[in-house]
Chain A
Amino acid sequence: MTEQTAALLFNFGVPAVLIVAGFFAGSWNERRHFRRIVKREEELRAILAFAIRRMPSDLALSAPHLVTGSAVISVDYFKRFAAGLRGIVGGRIGSYESLFERARREAMIRMKQTAQGAGSNIVLNVKLDTTRIYAGSRGGIVSVEAIAYGTAYLRHDEPAEIH
Chain B
Amino acid sequence: MIVSNMEELPGQRVVRHLGVVQGSTVQAKNVFRDIGASLKNLIGGELRAYTDLMNSAREEAIARMKQEAEALGANAILNVRFATSTITQGAAELLAYGTAVIVEESPE
Contact = CB atoms under 8 A, between A and B. Distances in A.
Given A29-B45, A143-B50, A127 B5 contact: yes
Given A29-B44, A30-B44, A135-B37, A66 B92 contact: no
Interface stretch (B18-26, B51-59, B67-75): B51-59
Given A30-B44, A124-B6, 4 more contacts: A66-B3, A74-B47, A139-B89, A145-B50
A58 to B, nearest CB: 12
Nearest to B90: A134
A98 to B, nearest CB: 10
A68 interface: yes
A13 interface: no
Contact of B10 (A61, A72, A73): A61
Given A64-B2, A70-B51, A124-B6, A79 B44 contact: yes
Nearest to A65: B3
A110 to B, nearest CB: 9
Interface stretch (A1-9, A18-26, A40-48): A18-26
A145 B5 contact: no
A145 B37 CA distance: 14
Contacts of A125: 5-6
Contacts of B47: 72-74, 133, 135, 143
A65 B92 CA distance: 25
B84 A131 contact: yes
Interface of A: 18, 21-22, 25-26, 29-30, 33, 53-55, 60-62, 64-66, 68, 70-77, 79, 106, 124-125, 127, 129, 131-137, 139, 141, 143, 145, 147, 149-151, 153
Describe A's contact surface by its main secondary structure. Answer: strand
A55 B11 CA distance: 11
Contacts of B58: 68, 70, 147
Contacts of A143: 37, 41, 47, 50
B25 to A, nearest CB: 15
Interface in B16-54: 29, 31, 34, 37-38, 40-48, 50-51, 54
Nearest to A127: B5
A122 B86 CA distance: 32
B105 interface: no
Contacts of A75: 41, 44
A72 to B, nearest CB: 4
A55 B6 CA distance: 8
Given A72-B54, A139-B89, A64 B45 contact: no
